[in-house]
Amino acid sequence: MKVVVIGAVAAGPKTASKILRLRPDAEVTVLEKGEFVSFAGCGLPYYLSNVVKEQKELLSTPIGVPRDPAFFRKVKNVRVLIRTEALTIDRKSRQVEAKNLQTGESFSLPYDKLVLATGAQPIIPPISGINHKKVFTLHNIEDCEAIRSVLANGDKKAVIIGGGLIGVETAEALVRKDCSVTIVEMLPQILSVLDWEIARQVELHMRSKGVEIRTETKALAIEGTGDEIRCVTTDKGEIPADLVILGVGVRPNVSLAKEAGLEIGGTGAIRVNRRMQTSDLDIYAVGDCAESRHLVTGQPCYVPLGSTANKQGRVAALNICGLEDSFPGVLGSMVCQVFDFTVARTGLSEAQARDAGYDVVTCLVPGPDRAHYMPTAKPLMLKLITDRATGRLLGAQATGPGEAAKRMDVAATAITAAMTVDQVSKLDLSYAPPYSPAMDNLITASDVIRNKISGAMVGITPMELRNKPAESYFFLDVRSPGEVAKVALSGAVNIPLGALRDRVNEIPRDKEIIAFCQVSLRAYEAALILKANGFDRVKVLDGGVAMWPYERIFGKQ
């Protein structure tokens, strides 16, 4: 069996290696246009920042063996041809026309099965000056080395166009290299994969680390003379710059597939079935060039991730070798580091859930990530998205310095299993004070959702509150005077929870009452007290002071 694989970063090498484990008699050839194969693309920001010290660490096995063509030939029995570009696919004759970019030689490779692992390519916005030599993407090792070279020459004013994952991770890397960094983002928020409340917390944190963030701002031109950049011109003024990095996102690299007449999905990626077969059943597509299916909605989606690429490569290899396997889909799970915050999400965002037709119930629940009395405890801010009718967990998001990844992994498992928040709230999760509170953050958040669905608690989000006329509600702060002295929310009246029963007559009965505390647990208890005293319009501020995304009054006396 002759197999040709086009692309050698993640999915391609995985597919090739697995085929030869299953079929040692197979003849597998991998074509790679670039110089480097099987490199850790997700590690590039950490190499840029010097967290990863040497380039070779991105190219080696866990025991330090370089993953180069010689390694694949000797260890895997895979022939890898670098600096070799696949030009066309002749489906009728089952051949790939290719060219050696070093010698200029063209040649043909016959195949029984073909695997497209052509990946994705950076989106280049159509703005003036975009081709300047100090405008970069961060897509491969060559990009990273070019940026490192410019930084080594003393260029320190960096503008990042795009506030997605690439832009945010690159911003941290540049700050670690003593750069001044400005992110320019067209949308109202950075990290559009998140809901606004979580993205806003990340934005505030990045600002505290010195990153300037300009949302709802459009880059118009990159200005400079000769080899130097002077500034980035936006619709809201100029931003001084020595270098510019594009973090607008990526799109699937499907030109070969299109030219070969393969079906392209609505996402712009190659349409595949669960066996990773394209519309030509002898051609497979895996990784960032391939479409996926969302496990909640069942609809096609495009979520390019190295983890997905490796799983799809294994599925394709099994099927190529005559075994049965399928790739069910994805939840869009992701996690990234933003300075000392973790940012994570899985499943549907609130906006996606509403667009899919769900009657959505959400919660914002901050709290310590382990027993509060442990010196290692750190804050974690969590959001859950749930279907009101069924109680099914649809999505989860988290950020903060606390342990977010394991909560998202549990949530991803629960969403995959179509679990309800009632079921999640009773999960037998491991507990010890150094690792979690007795009631894990995910379980507490699930109980908050259950209270909302049952009517035991009525919540209001910061955004909803922001849009209400101030005279229409009474803003009740039930924290202690000492807490209020440190930080307060404008317009609030402080009646500590312990004094509320004795001072209930100070609260107007002709207005809606909105109660809050640090995390809104005491506010929930306050709401119950007020309801027992005949107040019928009481709401609890989701997230409390800990997740309040607007202005605060610090050091109030």
Per the CB < 8 A criterion, the answer to whether 223 and 230 are in contact is yes
Task: Transcribe 236-278 into DSSP letters.
Answer: TEEEE-SEEEE-S-EEE--HHHHHTT--B-TTSSBP--TT-B-
CA distance 334 to 398: 11
SS3 462: helix
CB 40 within 8 A of CB 336: no
Q: Report which of 332, 415, 402 is spatially closest to residue 366, judged by C-alpha positions.
A: 402
Residue closest to 155 by CA, chosen among 86, 85, 227, 219: 227
Q: CA–CA separation, 150 vs 146, rounded Å?
A: 6
21: its two tokens = 């484990």
Residues linked to residue 345 through DSSP beta bridges, in sequence order: 334, 397
120 vs 13: CA distance, rounded Å: 16
Cα 32 from Cα 18, distance rounded (Å) = 18
Residues designated as active site: 42
Give the phi and the psi of residue 79 in degrees, each rounded to 5: -90, 120
| Burial category of 230 from C-beta neighbours within 10 Å (exposed 0-12, middle 13-18, buried 19 and up) | middle
Strand, helix or coil for residue 230: strand
Element (H, E) at 299: none
CB atoms within 10 A of CB 288: 28
Residue 518 has which token pair? 């640090």
Report which of 318, 290, 325, 317 is spatially closest to residue 305, judged by C-alpha positions: 290
